[in-house]
Amino acid sequence: MVFSSVNFLFAFLPALLVCYFAVPRRCRAIRNGVLLIFSLAFYACGGPKLLGLMLASIVVNYCGGRLSAPGKKCRKTCMVLTVVVNLGLLGYYKYANFFMENLFLLGLPVAIPNITLPIGVSFFTFQGMSYALDVYRGNAEAEKNPFRVALYIALFPQLVAGPIVRYTTVAGEIADRRESLSESGSGAVRFCQGLAKKMLLANALGQIADAAFGAGTLLTTSMAWLGAMAYTGQIYFDFSGYSDMAIGLGRVFGFHFLENFNYPYVSRSATEFWRRWHISLSTWFRDYVYIPLGGNRCGRRRQVRNILTVWLLTGMWHGAAWNFILWGLYYGLLLLGEKFLWGGILEKAPGVLRHLYALLLIVLGWTLFRSESLAGVGAMVAALFGSAPAGLWSGETLYYLSEFRWELLLAIPASLPVGVWVRGALERRERGGSRPASAALILGPRVLALGLFGLSVLSLLGSSFNPFIYFRF
């Protein structure tokens, strides 16, 4: 089940809201129980047979946290076992097919398994591990109530596509939170904004990207650039839209998740881009891999090793395929270059050139990410630089530019902090005593959200093209 579906919007969510808010606020344990049952049901809709994996993750990390807490005997051994079991489950379900396929291609007589990838396995595995590791480090207290750990790992808004939430962020709210009408209203507005990103922009841009990356021998240079730029928009609006919906739904039920995106396409370097993109994953690798390896507190050779290790793992986290590994190493090399080679020159360059530099590298990176094979990567990159099988230009490019002209134009301001600028201007007017500014601050987002929701529903009912990119990670 996805948030942008009729079943979720008009069946699952209304049923949950009725059952949840019918329980008095003072009965926190019962409200948590309702939320846990619905969260497990939400996950089961994507594959009932794999619900056992989710329950296993809950049991492993709950027990790991209890047995590896400070003061426990053999706590280090218990922590190692917890991490090994987590990574073992993730490795089996996500990477077994990939490794066996490559062994088979090398000529080894191995059978290639047919393992179904559980939805969101990378997200809830990393989330569960972070809880156990934080308990082991003394950064969080071991939770005695297993249902609270279960709710933390299974909580449906961020269950299958993030953001990756730390236990320390929501532990207090699981035990005692205060839902309010104003917070629920703010969450609903955020949800509608995310739904619109997904339905009105990501899906339209995705059709252009699919046409370009699937063009084969009909690919032209113009279509390659249009497709690469469209995918750059699609993956941002798809993933940040889902994060907006998750954060909004969290607020409805009294949870405050940290932001996962900070307008990454305004970046002026690859380093800045990764401070703004998928923030929860970047900080996870920083805190649980990069810093334990030594981080920046070591010589240059070890720093290079640490950065390449983190980005190799980042690539593999995104998918079991060579293009994801290349994509991770691509960013690892870029960050090393900016850190040790051309970073000083880049800082002295004009802002416009730095922004163009970053955008070009980001688009090329997404080309690696989107291509379905190494041959596809080579063909697409060659087409971008003028060596396309069908030449430089085609009528197909003009068709997609015309057919999706409004979505392409709206994608530009939608990827910029325009809303932040407008709100800042209105707040300055309000401090000056302007009533219209105050009314605009209160009513404007709500009216806009209502309109966006209506347009999103119309788009949902009128189209069958509705993929979520990060569901397969």
User: What positions carry a catalytic annotation?
Assistant: 318
> Mutual orientation of helices 300-318 and 322-340 as an angle, nearest 10°?
150
Question: For the residues of 42-84, what is the DSSP string, one character each?
Answer: HHHTT-GGGHHHHHHHHHHHHHHHHHTSTT-TTHHHHHHHHHH
Counting beta carbons within 10 angstroms of the beta carbon of residue 217, is it exposed (0 to 12), middle (13 to 18) or buried (19 or more)?
exposed
Cα gap 155→360, rounded to integer Å = 37
Cα gap 33→411, rounded to integer Å = 40
> Mutual orientation of helices 146-154 and 28-44 as an angle, nearest 10°?
50
Q: Look up residue 298 and give its amino acid.
A: C
- Sort residue 435 into left (φ over 0), alpha (ψ -120 to 50) or beta: alpha
- Spell 263-281 as b/e; 16+ CB within 10 A means b: bbbebbbbbbbbebbbbbb
Q: Which residues contact 281 (CB under 8 A, 6 or more apart)?
A: 126, 162, 164, 314, 317
Cα gap 23→400, rounded to integer Å = 51
Q: How far is CA 446 from the centre of its chain?
A: 25
Instruction: For tokens 């805190």, name the residue.
Output: 287
166-170 LR contacts (CB < 8 Å, sep 24+): 166/130, 166/131, 166/134, 167/130, 167/131, 167/134, 167/140, 167/143, 168/134, 168/139, 168/140, 169/256, 169/257, 169/258, 170/255, 170/256, 170/257
Are 168 and 287 within 8 A, CB to CB?
A: no
Are 9 and 473 within 8 A, CB to CB?
A: no
Q: Which residues contact 461 (CB under 8 A, 6 or more apart)?
A: 6
Residue 393: CA count within 13 A, CB half-sphere: 3
Are 54 and 43 within 8 A, CB to CB?
A: yes
Q: Which residues contact 446 (CB under 8 A, 6 or more apart)?
A: 185, 189
